[in-house]
Amino acid sequence: MTQLWIGTYPSAGAGTPVGRGEGIWSVDLDDATGVLSDARQLVVTPAPSFVATDPDGRVLYAGNEHADGAVTTFEVTGDGLVEGGTRPSGGDDPCHLLVDGDRLLVANYSSGTLAVIERTDDALAPGGQVFGHEGGGPVADRQDGPHAHFVAVAPGGAHVLVVDLGTDELRRYARTDDGLRPDGIAATLPAGTGPRHLAFSADGRFAYVVGELDVAVHVLAWDVATATGTLVQSVPAVAGQVAGPVAPQGAALPSHVVLDGEDLFVGVRGADVLTRWRVGADGLLTDGRSVPLGGRWPRHFAVVGRWVVAGLEKSDELVVLDRAWGDDDAVVARLPLPAPTCVLPRP
């Protein structure tokens, strides 16, 4: 049995008033059958749209996604969570957190800022670094300025990257003993891409970037020494002969991406599918196939062994798929849960 932590939005969805009972939930996943059970709300906290844990699984961090954003710390107990404190996130609408050694890195979407927060075993220090950015893109209603959406440590460990949906860039920061230092742009995607999330190959030679606005997955050949990427392939986020009805392509908004072994998975909201691409020995994507999820708005998912567990935000449910789906329905289980936005297996 694997315990999953689930972050949520207010039940009315993103952009609605926070503090309406949303919080962090616990769900059990049967590793043998994929069945979900024992859904219970552990804590109430405003709009914890993304959650992350330290490597030991003793502390859970929640990004409270609202204006004048916050990060809340929780001690993990045997059967629950105990709130340890809340501090500013360094911007508006924190949407992604990354535990990086003794630091917590926070991507704040609306302000476009990256915050670097020092952490101890059970608390987050006051102050810290906050990095802004400038620029925009051609999609006027979504690229009016920087929009930091995801943070990652680049292969080799010398740099941190920020995926900026607003400027079509991967921003680069050098890691130092004292924090981070701006170090230019690691890659610029085609105008209007709207990069949202990324995943690196195990050998660090390729990066796979999801374009939310152009509904595509972009493969970058990655130079570890310089921490730069060069575009080598772009494929649609909705692919192949879909085994069932999907929403019109124009309504599609790709969300999360996970690379697990030779499988690259991409969630696509609006089309409401999960797409699986095979990764070849050359790092390129082949044999794409999308499968309908039977619900609305797959914002985030996790690969747990044989299973893919996705949160369907606007259907108020979790769904489990067999990752080796073929021609049959891939969905093996569902469980009601209000506005799930993040799925995190407990270490």
For tokens 């920020």, what's the residue?
Answer: 162
Q: For residue 241, what pLDDT band results from cuts at 50, 70 and 90?
A: low
Structural domains in the chain plus CATH codes? 78-333 (2.130.10.10)
Highest mean pLDDT (candidates 13-27, 177-191, 228-242): 177-191
> pLDDT by residue (tens digit) across 36-78?
999 999 999 999 999 999 999 999 999 999 999 999 999 999 8
Residues 6 or more apart whose CB falls under 8 angstroms from that of 310 comprise: 267, 274, 293, 298, 300, 301, 318, 319, 320, 321, 343
Q: What is the pTM of this model?
A: 0.95
> pLDDT by residue (tens digit) across 258-292?
999 999 999 999 999 999 999 999 999 999 999 99
Long-range own/partner contacts, residues 249-253 (CB < 8 A, 24 or more apart): 249/215, 252/215, 253/212, 253/213, 253/215
The pLDDT score that the predictor gives to residue 16 is 79
CA-angle at 111, arms to 162 and 265, nearest 5°: 40
